[in-house]
Structure formats: structure tokens, C-alpha cells
Structure 1
Amino acid sequence: MDHSHSHHHGPAAPVSKHLRKIIGAVLIPFATAVVAGLIVLWPGGAPEQDEQTGVGFDRQMEKARVTKVEEVNCKDVHAQQQNNDAATDGQCQQATVEVTTGPHQGRTFTAVITPDDTRRLSTGQNVVVAYAPQAPEELQYSVVDVDRNFPIILLAVFFALVVVAVGRLRGVLALVGLAITFAVLTLFILPAILQGSNPLVVAVVGGSTIMLVTLYLCHGLTARTSVAVLGTLISLVLIGLLGSLFIAWAKLTGNTNDQTALVHSLYPDIEIRGVLLASVLIGSLGVLDDVTVTQTSAVWELKQADPTATWRTLYTSAMRIGRDHIASVVNTLVLAYAGAALPLLLLFSVAQASVSTVATSELVAEEIVRTLVGSIGLVASVPVTTGLAALVVSTGLSGTEPSGPSGRGRRRRAKR
């Protein structure tokens, strides 16, 4: 038995040393480049605007409370009488709203909710109001949304408790990783894009920072995590190249909705096509991490279950797990995008245009390219990560003791 171990350990050692050098030669310069990228591109906050535009979220918002709600005939409402195009039949809500924050705290105004408005108000409800200083006094405040702070915070706390209860220490580390992800997005990625930096470069640096920090934080500074990082990196490069190629080839501008049009009008220097490519990369990163970590863990567990397993055996077994993962993950990605674009899909389903016309329109083609490019990267990550992980454990780099040929022979004879 001892003889077999020493017989095999000779050739394995140089291979594992060589592999360690390869992984170090890729990951150390990569991590250094990411840190350098963060330093060079660090924006120092979003660019200052001289004044608020009064469009979308770029308005002065205040909190308010509904003090009284009355049902009135829409024909009797002065606001409706001024708008002849609006339907005047039915019952309108006339709400008295009191401003609770800002310079005009305590001021009340009247808001009218028409029957075709999906939002209804109730007495005692907290709302968000927009303040327009240039408007006449009676029109300065308007209800724009409801105040939903409490249910959102409650849901977030419940989510954190469930994650910690099930995941324990790993769950706590996962929540820290989530906080870091949010911080990188809000402090680096978004302000850097607004400052005019190349969106693709920003997404690569920011996404890589998120990947390195969260993976090593949640899974430890081990060979297993390094393999997952390497597999994710290779897949991200593939997604970036394919995304660049097909976004340019399909002549997608990325300027397809009101939000992108508004961003482009406020910040004309931003490369909107680059933002589209950045969104493809960042959107794929979360699912990529899941696939690469799972595949790496599968190989390690298979090696522990059968220490005599060869590279080929480990790869074949782990790929069977990977194929199941591919089938579910690709479907997950498609359904995630379909869910996000459901109102758009409903509009197209009632349109009289042909399926091909709809599918190749920029609005839908953008989602198709995003989904398919991300899915190709995901599918490719499975064999790449599995192959790397199997190579690492079968050469003893992971700390798993490789078994000699005689041990494998005995194993085969026992199976027979």
C-alpha cells in the first residue's frame, strides 16, 4: 500500500506544482489588475447637477399622510372639468393630503384619483409627494407614490433571518457579501458610468471585484474557490466577447425605453450600447457564480467519496450533475428575463405583427441577445470549471491524497 502511494506521488508532485503556478499566474495578476482598475476608475460620487430636472426620480420628494378621503362624482371635480378628453363618469376619490416633511410641513393639498387610476388611497395612509417650486402654490405638491418603507424593511429582515437560520455562519457571510455587492454597485459601478468611464470596463472591474470578494469571503481562500473563480472568469470573458460581437452585429443601440432615453438626455456622453453590454455581464455574474461553485463542490465531494477516482472518472461523473444544472439554469435565466419583460410580452401578444417581426424588433432582440449570450457563457462554464476542478483534485493540489494505480486496479476488481 505504501509502495503504491510513493510510486504515484513522484509524478503527481511536479504536476500539482506546475498547476499551482498556472493558477497563481492567472489569479494574482487578475486580482492586481482589478484593484488597479478600481483605483484608476474610482469616481468619487455621482456627478453633481446644477439643478434638479424635475423628471422621474430627479425631483424633490417629501413624505405626506392622507388625512381624509371622499368619494365624489368626477363631473363635480374641477380638475376633471379642465380635461375634456378624460372620462367624466363614475366616482373619483378626493383625498386631503398633509405634507409631513420639508419646508412646508403641515401644509395640506387636495389630490384627485380618477376611476382609471390603478392606485387607490385610504385615510391614514403614508404617501410620497413631489414638490415643484416653480408651480402655483395650489399645484406645488402632487402624490407620486405610496410610502412602502415598512413592508420592504420587514421583508429584508425576514430574508436575513431565514438566510442566517438555514446557512448559519455561511449565511452571515453571504449577507456580508450581498452588502459588498450593493456597495460596489452604488459606490463604484453606477457613479463611474455616470462620470463617463467606459461602461464595459467599469462592469468588468466592478463585476470582478464582486466575484473575488464574495466567492473568497463565502467559500474561503482555498484551491476549490480559486477553481470556481477561474471558471467564472473564463466564462465572463466569453460572455463579454460574444456580447460585444452580437450587440454590434445586430446593431443594437441599447436606447429602447424611457429610462435609457432619460439617462441619455441627462448624460449625453454615456455610451448606451456599452451600458447594455455591462448589464449582460452583471446579469450573468450571479448565476455564473452559482454554477461554478456547485460544479467545483461536486468534483471535491466525488473525490472524497472515491479517493481512487481518476481525472476522467471525476469529470464524467461531475458532468452528469452539470448537465442537470445546465437544463435548470438556462430555463431559470430565460424565465427571469421573461418575468421582467412580462408587460412588454403582453403588448406584443395582442399586436397584429408577425412573430418574426416582433422577435427581431430592437426591444425584443435586445432581450434575446442578453438571454442567449448569458446562457452560452453559463453552459460553457460547466465543462470548463468541471475540467479544472477534476485536474486540481486528481493532481493532489487540493490536499486530497491521490491513490496509486494499484489501488485503482483493486477498486475495479472489487466492482467486478
Structure 2
Amino acid sequence: MQKLKVSSSFIRWLLILVVVGLGAILFTFHNESFYQRPLARVEQVRNEKAVKQTDEFKNVDWQTKQYLKIKMLNGKYRGKKLTVTNTYSYSGAMDQRYRVGNEIFLTRVHEKDGLLHATIAGYKRDTVIVFLVWLVILLLLLMMKKQGNLALLSVVVNSILFVLAIELDLKMQAAHVLLIFGTLALIFTIVSLILILGLTKRMLATLGATVCGTLIAMLISLLIFQLTQERGIYYESMQYVTQVPRPLFLAETLLGSLGAVMDESSDIVATIFELRQLDPTATKGQLFMAGRSVGKSIMGPLVNVLFLIFMADTFTSSLLYLKNGNSWGYTFSMNMCLGTVQSLISGIGIVLAIPIASGLAAILLGKKGKA
């Protein structure tokens, strides 16, 4: 009877979530009046013949000019129609193609000589965003149930804290970047682990391993920076930064390393916890060695994940550098150097987390005895 009750409750919440999600998606198709920015729908499209473009480095692209007949959906010009132009390229690097049915934002909407004029500002993407958020929540509920809800809650709370930290950094004119984001990293860790694991020995072991592994990795990197006088680290490659780049780079590295170390530490501690459940007589030494074995097994995939994330992040910009006549050395210095350093620091944290997580979990969960 208890299982039937739980199953019925789960189905009820699932149906509610499906109805709410579909309602939210349907709402995004008819929420034009809630936007203050001018919004229009593309009703007709006429494309001119594509024109070949070649630059000094022999890069070839094709550009096409579009004439879009659009209908205003909000504002004082609602219901009026006008024609706007758009130029898109085959590569789509800095522009995009529009089709019938697309909803687009406009700027500089004005009347001149009795005609309405405007400039395209980009797609209206709220439907896609709402759908993806709903899909993530639905999958978490289906696959993880209560744990999925707690994981989602931790993401929401951490996102709010991250926005607050950025606002605080802006108000303080970037005077205490490392202090703000260092404190934020600690709060991230505590909030996430308490919500997901609760106030347990398992949480304490994961928290200790995460904080210690990340902190030691950062201290080692700072020591190496000091010994090498940061030669080969090009902070000027951090684009669009309007404050001192070095503290921002260290804060970014701290947050990135924290995620990798927490991931590995939680896996090691969870495995030791399960072993302790299966064998209550396991000694500290046995649990430590088991944790070390798990750590060595997952260390390689984790490091590769970091590398692939780094490669995906720099792939397109690296191609742009190379196709515009830059050497591999310059491309690496200006586009890949800082990411490589961050990956190496995270790798140090991953390696250090293995003995730290294994040791803390063994001390908290194991019994006295010989290894």
C-alpha cells in the first residue's frame, strides 16, 4: 500500500509538472505585450542571390541580403507592417538568417516620410529557454526524484548567490575580488552539499576534501606563479575586461577547480560510504585503500573532461585566429594559454583530492584496525 501511495503521488506531481510546463511554453507564444522592447513577426522573406566574399587570407564566405516583411506585435505601432533588411553569411559567425514565422526584436523603430523604419536586434528565444528548463526539471524528476529536486534547488540557490556576488563586486569597484569569490566558493560548497547530502559524516568528508583540495591546488599555483614571475601567462588575452584581470582570472580558476574537485570527492566518499554499508567491519585502512582505487579510476576521465571542455570553449576562436594568418604560438598565447593554466590547476586539485577524500572518509566512517 505504501509503494502504491508513493507511486500515485509521483504520477500526480509528474502530471502537474507536464501541465505547467506545456502552459509555460504556450504562454511564450503569446506574451508579446509583456515586452517593452519592440517585437515583430516575420511574414514574408525575399532573398537575393548569394555574393562571394574573399578576404586577404583567402578565406571564402557567401553573403545573402534578405528583405523581410514583418508585422509589429507590441507597442504603439502594434499591427503595422514594414519591410526591413538583413544580411547573413553562410558561416553565420556574426549574423543569422531569418525565416517566416520567426519573432524578432527591433531597435530604432521610427516613422519617416509616412513609412515605418526599424533595425533587427535578434531572435526572441524565450520559448526555447523555457522548453529547455522544463525538460531539465522533468528529467531530474523522472530519473532522480527527490535527489533531483534537491540538486535543482542547489543550482537555483547557487545561481542567486552568484548574481549577488557579481553585484557586490561591481558596487565595490572590484576592490576585493578574491575575497568575494573565495567566500562565494565556500558558500557554494556548503549549500550544495547540505542540500544534497544533509548534515552527515558523508557531507563533512566531502566538504573537507573539496575545500582542502581546492585550497592546496590554488596555493601551489600561486607559489609557481611567484617562482616563475608569471612568465607565459597573458592576462591581456582576457577580452572585454574593464577591471584588473589577474584577480578575475584567479577567481575564475578557483570556481572552476572547485567544481572538478567536488565532483571527484563526492564520488570517492559515496563509494566509501557504500562499502561501509556493505561491510560494517571495514577498517580505516581498508576504506582508505578502496577510496584511493576509486580515485585513480576516475581521475583520468575527469582530467579528460576538463580538457574537452577547454577545447570546446576555445575551438571556434582558435580557428578564427589561425584562418586570419596567426601562428600556432600566437594563437595559443592569446586564446588558449589561460584555459590551459586553469585546466592544469584543476588537475592538481583532482590529484590531491584522492588521498584527502579517502583519508577523511576513512577516518569518519571506518573502524580501528590494521590495513
Q: Distance in 2 between matches of 1:381 and 1:255?
A: 32
Residues 58-83 of structure 1: CA deviation (Å, up to 9, x unaligned):
xx9543222322234689xxxxxxxx
User: Hey, what does 2:19 align to over in structure 1?
Assistant: none
Which SS does the other structure have where 1:127 is aligned? strand
Q: Identify which of 214, 230, 235 aligns with 1:249.
A: 230
User: Is residue 217 of structure 2 the alignment partner of residue 217 of structure 1?
Assistant: no
User: Is residue 205 of structure 2 the alignment partner of residue 205 of structure 1?
Assistant: no
User: Hey, what does 1:69 align to over in structure 2?
Assistant: 45
Matches within 5 A, 1:253-402: 254-256=235-237, 258-260=239-241, 264=242, 270-348=243-321, 350=323, 355-359=328-332, 361-394=333-366, 402=367
Task: Verify the 8 A CA contact 1:244 1:277 in the aligned structure 2.
Answer: no
User: Is residue 148 of structure 2 the alignment partner of residue 176 of structure 1?
Assistant: no
Residues 110-149 of structure 1: CA deviation (Å, up to 9, x unaligned):
332335263221222111223489x999897321221121
Q: Distance in 2 between matches of 1:351 and 1:73?
A: 26
Higher relative contact order (CA 8 A, sep 6+): 1
Q: Distance in 1 between matches of 2:114 and 2:73?
A: 17
User: Is residue 210 of structure 2 the alignment partner of residue 232 of structure 1?
Assistant: yes
For structure 2, which runs of at least 5 residues remain unmatched after alignment? 1-35, 52-59
Residues 294-351 of structure 1: CA deviation (Å, up to 9, x unaligned):
1111112222222332222211122111111101111001101111111023235557
Identity %: 22
Task: Verify the 8 A CA contact 2:165 2:180 in the aligned structure 1.
Answer: yes
State the one-letter code of the partner of 2:240: Q
State the one-letter code of the partner of 1:382: I
Which SS does the other structure have where 2:237 is aligned? coil
Give the number of the structure whose alpha-carbon radius of gyration is greater.
1
Q: Distance in 2 between matches of 1:136 and 1:74?
A: 31
TM-score, normalised to structure 1, is: 0.68
Task: Verify the 8 A CA contact 2:272 2:361 in the aligned structure 1.
Answer: yes
State the one-letter code of the partner of 2:362: A
Task: Verify the 8 A CA contact 1:74 1:90 in the aligned structure 2.
Answer: yes
Which SS does the other structure have where 2:67 is aligned? strand
Which SS does the other structure have where 2:99 is aligned? coil
Seen in structure 2, the aligned counterparts of structure 1 residues 179 and 96 have a Cα distance that, compared at 3 Å, is: same
Q: Distance in 2 between matches of 1:384 and 1:330?
A: 18
State the one-letter code of the partner of 2:102: Q
Deviation at 1:98, TM superposition (A): 3.4
Deviation at 1:183, TM superposition (A): 0.7
State the one-letter code of the partner of 2:277: Q
State the one-letter code of the partner of 2:250: L
User: Hey, what does 1:34 align to over in structure 2?
Assistant: none
RMSD: 3.2
Greater percentage in strand: 2
User: Is residue 123 of structure 2 the alignment partner of residue 142 of structure 1?
Assistant: no
Q: Distance in 2 between matches of 1:338 and 1:234?
A: 27
User: Is residue 121 of structure 2 the alignment partner of residue 121 of structure 1?
Assistant: no
TM-score, normalised to structure 2, is: 0.75
Q: Distance in 1 between matches of 2:113 and 2:365?
A: 73
Q: Distance in 1 between matches of 2:76 and 2:236?
A: 38
Task: Verify the 8 A CA contact 1:69 1:95 in the aligned structure 2.
Answer: yes
Seen in structure 2, the aligned counterparts of structure 1 residues 349 and 67 have a Cα distance that, compared at 3 Å, is: same
Matches within 5 A, 1:1-12: none
Seen in structure 2, the aligned counterparts of structure 1 residues 213 and 144 have a Cα distance that, compared at 3 Å, is: same
User: Hey, what does 2:18 align to over in structure 1?
Assistant: none
Deviation at 1:286, TM superposition (A): 2.3
Task: Verify the 8 A CA contact 2:283 2:368 in the aligned structure 1.
Answer: no
Seen in structure 2, the aligned counterparts of structure 1 residues 365 and 182 have a Cα distance that, compared at 3 Å, is: same
Residues 90-117 of structure 1: CA deviation (Å, up to 9, x unaligned):
8631012334344554555433233526
Q: Distance in 2 between matches of 1:123 and 1:242?
A: 56
Q: Distance in 2 between matches of 1:323 and 1:137?
A: 73
Residues 151-201 of structure 1: CA deviation (Å, up to 9, x unaligned):
221121111111111111111111111110111112x12112222242221
Matches within 5 A, 1:53-64: 61-64=37-40
- How many residues align? The count is 317
Which SS does the other structure have where 1:221 is aligned? coil
